[in-house]
Each structure stands twice: as C-alpha cells, then as structure tokens.
C-alpha cells in the first residue's frame, strides 16, 4: 500500500500526552462540540453492524469507551467485548463508566494497547471497529492491517471517522467551525500544553475520506468495502469484510 504522508505530528508520545491531558473533559467536549450528535453516530454504527451474541467484538482506540460500552449493552453483556487504547488516563474513565453498571458489561474489558501492536492472536474477533481514532494512529495502513490480523476470516472491520462534506454551503460552515470555533472552545475548556483542539481539525483535514479511504481499505485486502455518510457527510462509516479464506 502507498505510504501516507504525514504533516500533522502523530508521534505516539505526542498523541498519548495530548489525550492524557484532555481526558477529564473529553466526554463533555465531545457532546458539546458535536451538539450531542456523536451519540447518534455511535448508535447508528452499531445498528448497521448488526452485532450478534456470541461473536466477540474489539474496539480499538476506544478512548473513554463509549462505543465499546454501547456494544456491550447492545449484546446484553453476555458476549466478549474488548476496548483497547494506549492512553491509560482515557481507559481509567472508561473503566469508571463500566463499574457503574457491571451486570450489563460483565464480559467487557479494557486493555492498554497500541493499535499497531495488538496483544491478541490472529482471527480472534468477529467485528473489529474504531470510532474517531484511526486518524490518530501514526501509520494508518499499519493500523488497518493489524485490525485485519485479529479479525476472523469473514468478519467485519468498521471505521467511523470525521469526513469532509461536499455540499458547498455546509462545507464552508464546517471548515470555519472546525478551524476557528472548535479550537477556541476546546482549548479554553480543556486547557492543555499540546493544543489538542487545534490538532483535531488539522488531523481531520489531512485524513483521507470517502472513496479515497475506501480505496486504501480495498488495497489492504478488505472485500465488499462500502461507505455510509452521516449528517450530510460530517462523518462517514466505512465497512469492509476480511476474506473468508
């Protein structure tokens, strides 16, 4: 696969430090800055994926665990769901959420792990997913290949990520909000030394979206790749299947 050119600093230490600093305010800002639509994006993602009891699920770059927690609840707490992230401070918040309703999340666990070096045997999970995290992996292609490695043959990979709207009026407003409004709100509420909420729009603008990302997923070996825009293209869900053999 063609290597991704990186202009935004996505070095592991920088990204880990950045998320550690904003972890206490991360959930609040996600809901406020997305006008609470992020909850809908995750709900719709899980509905489309059609998770089934007894088929294990992995959520990489899980952050504070919202997608993994929702998957565990949807599966009734009876199916193995694992959330991984390399930021311990984010995982601590995820575990606090889990502890509030342990019966619902009895088979959910959170592990500290790098998405490019997952601590699992190959073909361990029926569904491997990531929400708003793949663009933070320093090597996108390596992250996708590692997700594929731990996915069962015939299983599905799902990537929920910000994308760039194409409708002109929305695109202009989106660009202004992402470049000027979001960084000011984010960095004023969750003060940090890493300028995290300026990094967010920069990483979104740089990251491939739509057909460009779908083509890279196909190049990685995924089959039946499709992408589903949400909220007029503000975010996009990408789904592909690992070959059955």
Does a structural domain hold residue 200? yes
CATH number at residue 189: 3.40.50.150
The answer to whether the predicted template modeling score (pTM) of the entire model surpasses 0.85 is yes
Does a structural domain hold residue 191? yes
Q: Which residues of 81-94 are buried (b: 16+ CB within 10 A; e: fewer)?
A: bbbbbbbebbbebb
Cα 14 to its chain centre, rounded Å, is 18
Does a structural domain hold residue 155? yes
Q: Which helix (DSSP H) or strand (DSSP E) does residue 238 occupy? A: strand 235-241
Q: Which helix (DSSP H) or strand (DSSP E) does residue 105 occupy? A: none
Does a structural domain hold residue 19? yes
Does a structural domain hold residue 5? no
Counting the structural domains of the chain, the total is: 1
Radius of gyration of the chain (CA): 17
Does a structural domain hold residue 62? yes
Does a structural domain hold residue 7? no
What residue numbers bound the domain in which 204 lies? Answer: 12-241
Q: Pick from 82, 55, 79, 54: which is nearest to 68 by CA?
A: 82
Does a structural domain hold residue 3? no
Sequential pLDDT tens for the chain (245 residues): 433 444 577 777 888 988 898 898 889 878 877 889 999 999 999 999 999 999 999 999 999 999 999 999 999 888 999 999 999 999 999 999 999 887 777 799 999 999 999 999 999 999 999 999 999 999 999 999 999 999 999 999 999 999 988 777 787 887 888 777 777 776 666 565 547 777 877 888 889 999 999 999 999 999 999 999 999 999 999 999 999 97
Give me the pLDDT at residue 191, please.
Answer: 61
């Amino acid at each position: 696969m063609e290597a991704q050119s990186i202009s935004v600093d996505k070095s592991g230490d920088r990204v880990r430090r950045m998320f550690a600093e904003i972890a206490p305010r991360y959930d609040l800002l996600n809901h406020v800055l997305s006008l609470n639509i992020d909850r809908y994006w995750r709900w719709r993602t899980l509905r489309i994926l059609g998770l089934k009891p007894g088929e294990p699920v992995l959520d990489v770059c899980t952050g504070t665990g919202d997608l993994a927690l929702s998957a565990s609840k949807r599966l009734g707490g009876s199916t193995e769901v694992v959330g991984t992230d390399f930021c311990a401070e984010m995982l601590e918040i995820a575990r606090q959420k889990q502890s509030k309703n342990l019966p619902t999340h009895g088979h959910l666990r959170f592990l500290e792990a790098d998405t490019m070096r997952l601590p699992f045997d190959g073909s361990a999970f029926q569904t491997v997913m990531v929400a708003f995290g793949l663009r933070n992996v320093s090597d996108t292609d390596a992250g996708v290949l590692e997700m594929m490695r731990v996915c069962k043959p015939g299983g599905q990979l799902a990537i929920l990520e910000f994308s760039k709207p194409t409708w002109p009026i929305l695109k202009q407003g989106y660009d202004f909000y992402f470049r000027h409004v979001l960084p000011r709100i984010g960095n004023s509420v969750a003060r940090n030394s890493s300028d995290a909420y300026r990094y967010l729009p920069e990483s979104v603008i740089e990251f491939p979206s739509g057909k460009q990302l779908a083509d890279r997923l196909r190049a990685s070996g995924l089959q039946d790749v499709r992408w589903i825009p949400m909220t007029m293209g503000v975010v996009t869900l990408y789904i592909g299947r690992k070959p059955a053999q």
